[in-house]
């Protein structure tokens, strides 16, 4: 409809932040202290600007806060209380931490706590888009890892690891075992392989997820769209909930292979 890629990815991710079926926003997983700590990031392929927030607890829409960091500050990433103070200054909606609490996530937390295992429901959310002006954008939002400790931050708010966009190549949003995605700069690596090796978005994404990460034991996947509208959605896990829509075509939703 002539809108921007950035508006599109923000709208898509905000919808999923409001839905307790995913691990972002309302219904996000709990950390080791029984609290919800949220991360999000955005990147604009046209300007190369990016924004992120990490470890926030009272911002209703972390992805919107990430966009404000990009548009209304000199910084790329703000964390914790500083990010929340910035959101307050920006007039974003703040909520009591109980807003993010759902019984399903709490019961999962209790089970994990009892077993002392760091496992649980995955569900980082993200969106990538190419608009009619030829601009790309990416956004990612997550509650992180169930029972995470010590202020752990994964790849979702890290530009180049969980989120990346450049009009020269592609827009990427990742989900999975964040430590592997950070160490391998996965989101940026898709773009780099396209630019430096001449690979297609499919070749680059498939190699990174199903060869490079898999060989290291890193589980996860990504969604990507290139500057020509080609889509890649590889994953090395049993399933990854994903979907896409192109102009003039019916939307497609996929869960498993």
Would you name the residues annotated as active-site residues?
124
Q: Which backbone phi and psi does 172 adopt, to 5 degrees?
A: -135, 140
Task: Name the nearest CA neighbour of 62 among 26, 89, 108.
Answer: 26
β-pair type (38-44, 125-130): unpaired
DSSP annotation of 26:
T
What letter does residue 57 receive in the DSSP assignment? Answer: S
- Helix-helix angle 62-72:5-17, to 10 degrees: 150
CA dihedral 143, 146, 152, 155 (to 10 degrees): -50
CA angle 131, 66, 27 (to 5 degrees): 100
Tokens at residue 184, please?
């391998």
Exposed/middle/buried for residue 199 (C-beta within 10 Å: 0-12, 13-18, 19+): middle
Contact of 117 with 111, CB cutoff 8 Å = no
- Map tokens 């939307």 to a residue: 251
- CA-closest candidate to residue 130, choices 168, 97, 179, 78: 168
Calculate helix-pair angle for 62-72, 80-89, nearest 10 degrees: 80
**At which residue do the structure tokens 């979702």 appear?**
156
């Amino acid at each position: 409809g002539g809108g921007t890629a950035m508006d599109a990815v923000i709208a898509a991710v905000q919808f999923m932040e409001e839905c307790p079926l995913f691990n972002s926003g309302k219904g996000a997983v709990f950390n080791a202290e029984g609290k919800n700590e949220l991360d999000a990031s955005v990147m604009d392929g046209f300007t190369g600007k990016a924004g992120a927030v990490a470890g926030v607890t009272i911002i209703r829409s972390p992805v919107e806060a990430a966009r404000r960091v990009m548009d209304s500050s000199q910084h790329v990433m703000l964390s914790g209380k500083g990010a929340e103070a910035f959101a307050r200054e920006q007039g974003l909606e703040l909520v009591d931490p109980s807003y993010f609490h759902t019984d399903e996530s709490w019961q999962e937390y209790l089970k994990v706590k009892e077993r002392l295992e760091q496992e649980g429901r995955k569900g980082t959310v993200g969106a990538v888009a190419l608009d009619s002006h030829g601009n790309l954008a990416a956004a990612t939002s997550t509650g992180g890892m169930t029972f995470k400790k010590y202020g752990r931050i994964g790849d979702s708010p890290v530009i180049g690891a969980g989120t990346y966009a450049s009009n020269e190549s592609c827009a990427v949003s990742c989900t999975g075992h964040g430590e592997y995605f950070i160490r391998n700069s996965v989101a940026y690596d898709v773009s780099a392989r396209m630019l430096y090796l001449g690979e297609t978005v499919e070749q680059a994404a498939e190699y990174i997820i199903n060869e490079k990460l898999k060989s290291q034991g890193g589980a996860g996947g990504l969604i990507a769209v290139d500057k020509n509208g080609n889509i890649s959605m590889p994953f090395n896990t049993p399933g990854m909930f994903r979907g896409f829509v192109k102009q003039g075509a019916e939307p497609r939703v996929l869960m498993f292979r």
